[in-house]
Amino acid sequence: MALPSLWFGSISRCCGCYHFCAADSLTLRFARLIAVAVVVIAVPLGFSHQTSAAESKPLGVRIVNLNLLHGAFCAPDTNHCQAPDRVDLLVHQIEQSGCPEVIGLQEIDSTLNKLIKKSREKLCKGSYQLVFPHSGGIDSEQVLTTLPVVSTKVVSLSGRFRTASRVVLKSALGPLVLVVTHQDGDPETATPGGGCKLCKPPCTVGTSLFQCQTDSAVDLAEKAGKKTDLRVLMGDFNVPPTSDRYRSIIAKGWVDSYLEAGNPECNSVSGVGCTSGRDDKSIATLKDPTARQSERIDFIFVKPSPSCAVVFDPSGDTNQNKLGTGLFNPLPANGDQNSLVWTSDHTGVSADISCAKK
């Protein structure tokens, strides 16, 4: 660092170029001390500036939702449709996506849960924790997260087979209330015996058992934390956007992250924008790169809060954090995992969420 020339000017004027008078000698020593102090102070100031720049980057939370396929209906000699290989492929995809803060999974049986638990130790350098203890059932939800867990709750849905699982997390956007669920589809004909007769709130007498599943999951997501908390409801709902159940969620102020980010609605002919339709009993399908989806039944719904006007990073990953809002790995993999190109009969959904600057 150059010293100001005026500090040295008095030296030559007073005593010439090669000799110092006592007063100017003191001036020079003082100048040197000032220079050292400036250098010492400048280093932490520069570091502080860099830290401030890093902290100024948009804060957000990245979420992935996937029905992983339990494989119970696959041929016995395929080991749940090559479950170990499918988990390995999922691990690879998670790491390639920059290790999103939240991974929500459905159709997790004991086999898949053990494989995920074992893989977690090396996944993204062991940064994930498994949120829910496994129930022992064939169709449970599981959440992997890098965020601190505040509380959890699991409720049974009408029909007593399906569940909804809630976890409250501490995120960069504040408290995050997350519910993951797997629900029945609407039957083609009316349910024998009519609707729900012994329903507990929020369901009412006469409501269909299946609408009750959706109402209960929404209620679970809305009755935790504060009104200012951000809320996410996601999973395999087994109904398309044209259904009354989907519309009932939207009517309560939730937004469909996939559509909100500008993605196209599912084209059942081309398979673009669809999340389900591949055969869930065939290992051959999971090795077929041409196997297409035909409907969109997997969603990440987000409910904006008074403190967060939600913004979704587009599927093209504008903010370059390795994950956008759209479908999660909709294209076939290269087959490195013993010829597998799909992790599941479903295609996952992803959301990169932040709050608009005020």
pLDDT of 30 higher than 90: no
Residue 241 has pLDDT above 90, yes or no: yes
pLDDT tens-digit profile of 98-147?
999 999 999 999 999 999 999 999 999 999 999 999 878 889 999 999 99
Q: Which residues pair with 149 in a beta bridge?
A: 169
Work out the mean pLDDT of the chain and round it to a whole number: 85
Predicted confidence (pLDDT) at residue 7 exceeds the cutoff of 80? no
Q: Write the pLDDT tens digit of every residue in 198-229.
A: 677 898 888 888 999 999 999 999 999 999 99
Q: Residue 51 pLDDT > 70, yes or no?
A: no
Q: What is the DSSP pairing of strand 230-236 with strand 174-182?
A: parallel
- % of the chain residues with pLDDT over 90: 72
User: What pLDDT, on a 0 to 100 scale, did the predictor assign at position 272?
Assistant: 98
- 43 burial (CB, 10 Å; 0-12 / 13-18 / 19+) is exposed
Count the Cβ atoms, other than its own, within 10 Å of residue 89: 24
- DSSP characters for 250-277? HHTT-EEHHHHTTPPPP-TTT-TT--B-
Q: What is the pLDDT of residue 198?
A: 66
Output the pLDDT for position 312: 98
Predicted confidence (pLDDT) at residue 336 exceeds the cutoff of 80 = yes
Cα torsion 338, 341, 344, 346 to 10°: value is 180
More confident residue, 9 or 158: 158
For 59-355, give the CATH class.
Answer: alpha beta
| Domain residue extents for the chain | 6-54, 59-355
Q: What is the pLDDT of residue 197?
A: 65
Q: Flag the least confident range among 183-187, 274-278, 331-335, 352-356.
A: 183-187
* Amino acid identity for residue 288 in this structure: D
Judge whether residue 316 has pLDDT over 80: yes
Name residue 177's beta-bridge partners.
168, 231
Distance CA 226, CA 214 (A): 22
E strands, 33-96, where?
60-67
- Per-residue confidence at 50, pLDDT binned at 50, 70, 90? very low
pLDDT bucket at 27, cuts 50 / 70 / 90: very low
Kindly state the average pLDDT of the residues 159-168.
93
